[in-house]
Amino acid sequence: MASLDSHVLMKIVSFFLYTLLVTSVSSETKCLNFQSIISFGDSITDTGNLIALSTPNELPESAFLPYGETFFHHPTGRYSDGRLIIDFIAEVLGLPHVPPFYGSKNGNFEKGVNFAVGGATALECSVLEERGISCPPKNKSLGVQLTNFKESLRSLCGSPSDCIDMIGNALILIGEIGGNDYNYPFFGHKNIEEVKELVPLVISTISSTITELVDMGGKTFLVPGDFPLGCSVIYLTLYQTSNKEAYDPQTGCLTWLNEFSEYHNEQLQAELNRLRKLYPYVNIIYGDYYNALLRLIQEPAKFGLMNNPLPVCCGLGGRYNYTFGVKCGLKGVECCNDPSKYVNWDGIHMTEAAYKWIAEGLLKGPYATPPFDWSCLSSEIKDKESLDT
């Protein structure tokens, strides 16, 4: 009996010590004064990679005005009139805008590096093509981006110990990614059940990427969910219908597509919860892009936006100032006079104004789970009103 009591006592002590260790490590990793940003994703986060990967004869529309006109006053490869969510995050952290990796062999990546590429998918092209889904010829999938990151570590940080420090002290942004895995089949009018079959594959790919980066020393991750696809003008145009019941009466968005986005986001959050239990010493933050954007469409006047928030700023024709296949940046495609009043920029991407409000919702709440802990930041950075400029 005495030996049993000792055995039980040892178990209790061991559990207590383990809990103490996890709590200690968790409090350390939750509150970090980030030294850099490491980013992966698609056009929502691309700060110039797709341009660098393109030949002069096949430059994307983001290489031409009016892209970049609001803040940078020239095209930078960002798919917006100005800054992106990642730019606002960098500003609040007191870091420079994150430079693109591709085409910048001699770039300064000490404060951040961005592997996100416009048009990128989470899944490899072979997986999509097996299902009859077309994929960009030069797609930089999430796996390719991660491989390129690992291959470049020596040039980015030098010694193994320096690399562990760099990764551990970075805010690692995983996405938004996966949107194009759904866009390509939806653009081809694949039925929703076929597209739903991709969701667990996309989630698994995101999860395995996080796991690899945790093994490399990653401590803090921001993992955004999908936007409300039913509010995207390209879909509102492509799937326009006379059936009023297909639309949300409050927003005018396509209900079935928004429900699909919610399904993806629910599955992603469930997987992130699993990872948090597996890695209690790692801070994995879910970015609720869905609701952070949806509120702008539900109450546009509250954010200084025009009362009809769905039409695009840069486009041509149709109910939403958009024609499928007619891209912003081409000759003859008109741009609005004041992008700060618009949510939608070019039919797929948002304006700098919308991205600013989304970033504020993430950084200041309530659209990050768990919330960001800014207690470690210097007072100079905490007092900085970057999002108000």
The CATH number of residue 275's host domain is 3.40.50
CB-CB contact of 174 with 206 (8 Å): yes
Q: How far apart are CA 8 and CA 24, in angstroms?
A: 24
* pLDDT, mean of residues 9-34: 44
- Please determine, for residue 373, whether its predicted confidence score (pLDDT) is greater than 50: yes
Confidence of residue 21 (pLDDT cuts 50, 70, 90): very low
Q: Quick one: pLDDT band at residue 19, thresholds 50, 70, 90?
A: very low
User: Is 386 assigned a catalytic role?
Assistant: no
Does residue 368 have a pLDDT over 70?
A: yes
Q: Is the pLDDT of residue 28 over 80?
A: no
Residues 6+ apart with CB under 8 A from 19: none
Q: Is the pLDDT of residue 16 over 70?
A: no
The beta strands (E) that lie in the chain are given as 36-40, 112-114, 170-174, 220-224, 283-287, 314-315, 334-335, 368-369
In a domain, 362, yes or no: yes
Residue 174: inside a domain, yes or no? Answer: yes
pLDDT band at 154, cuts 50/70/90? confident
Domain assignment present for 93? yes
Q: b/e string for 289-305 if b means 16 or more Cβ within 10 A?
A: bbbbbbbbbeebeebeb
Instruction: Give the per-residue pLDDT at 51.
Output: 96
pLDDT for 374: 75
* The predicted structure's pLDDT at residue 155: 87
Residue 217 has pLDDT above 80, yes or no: yes
- What does the pLDDT average to over 286-305? 98
| 17 or 338, higher pLDDT | 338
Q: Sorting pLDDT into bands at 50, 70 and 90, what band is 69?
A: very high
Residue 315 CA to residue 330 CA, distance in Å, equals: 10
- pLDDT (mean) for 266-271: 98
Which of these is catalytic: 36, 80, 87, 349? 349
User: Distance (Å, rounded) from C-alpha 127 to C-alpha 130?
Assistant: 5
Which residues, 6 or more positions from 157, have their beta carbon under 8 angstroms from its beta carbon? 163, 165, 166
Q: What is the pLDDT of residue 375?
A: 75
Higher pLDDT, 175 or 108: 175
Is position 21 within any domain? no
pLDDT for the residue numbered 376: 66
Give the range of the structural domain holding residue 178, as residue numbers without chain letter.
Answer: 33-226+255-287+351-384
pLDDT band at 32 (very low <50, low <70, confident <90, very high): low
| Among 42, 46, 87, 346, the one annotated catalytic | 346
- Mean pLDDT within 58-87: 97
Q: 133: which residues sit within 8 A by CB, 6+ positions away?
A: 184, 185, 188, 190
* pLDDT beyond 70 at 387: no
Total of domains in the chain: 1
Measured over the CA atoms of residue 196, residue 197, residue 198 and residue 201, the dihedral's sign is positive
* φ, ψ (nearest 5 deg) of residue 374: -95, 10
Confidence of residue 246 (pLDDT cuts 50, 70, 90): very high
pLDDT at 13: 37
DSSP 79: S
Q: Classify residue 210: in a domain, yes or no.
A: yes
Has 373 been annotated as catalytic? no
Going by the DSSP 8-state scheme, the letter that residue 371 receives in this structure is: P
- Can you tell me the distance from the alpha carbon of 362 to that of 368, in angstroms, rounded to the nearest whole number? 5
Is 97 considered catalytic here?
no
Does 322 fall in a domain?
no
23 or 311, which is more confident: 311
Quote the percentage of the chain above a pLDDT of 70. Answer: 88
- What pLDDT was estimated at residue 81? 98
Q: Strands 112-114 and 334-335, how do they pair?
A: unpaired
Between these two residues, 237 and 154, which has the higher pLDDT value?
237
Residue 15 has a pLDDT of 39
Residue 273 located in a structural domain: yes
**pTM score, whole prediction:** 0.90
Residue 107 is predicted with a pLDDT of: 72
- The residue-averaged pLDDT of 106-129 equals 94
Residue with tokens 């983001």: 62
Tell me which of 36, 39, 43, 62 is the catalytic residue: 43
Q: Is the dihedral of CA 135, 138, 143, 146 positive or negative?
A: negative
Higher per-residue confidence, 142 vs 384: 142
pLDDT class for 258, splitting at 50, 70, 90?
very high
Distance separating alpha carbons of residues 352 and 261, to the nearest angstrom: 22
Confidence class for position 22, pLDDT limits 50, 70, 90: very low
User: What is the three-class DSSP state of 72?
Assistant: coil
Within a domain: 111: yes
Strands of the sheet containing 220-224, edge to edge, are 112-114, 36-40, 170-174, 220-224, 283-287, 368-369
Provide mean pLDDT across the span 6-22: 40
pLDDT value of position 378: 55
Q: Please state which of the ranges 27-36, 71-80, 103-112 shows the lowest mean pLDDT.
A: 27-36
* DSSP bridge pairs for 376: none
**Residue 289 in this model has a pLDDT that exceeds 50:** yes
Give me the helix-helix angle, 142-151 and 199-215, nearest 10°: 10
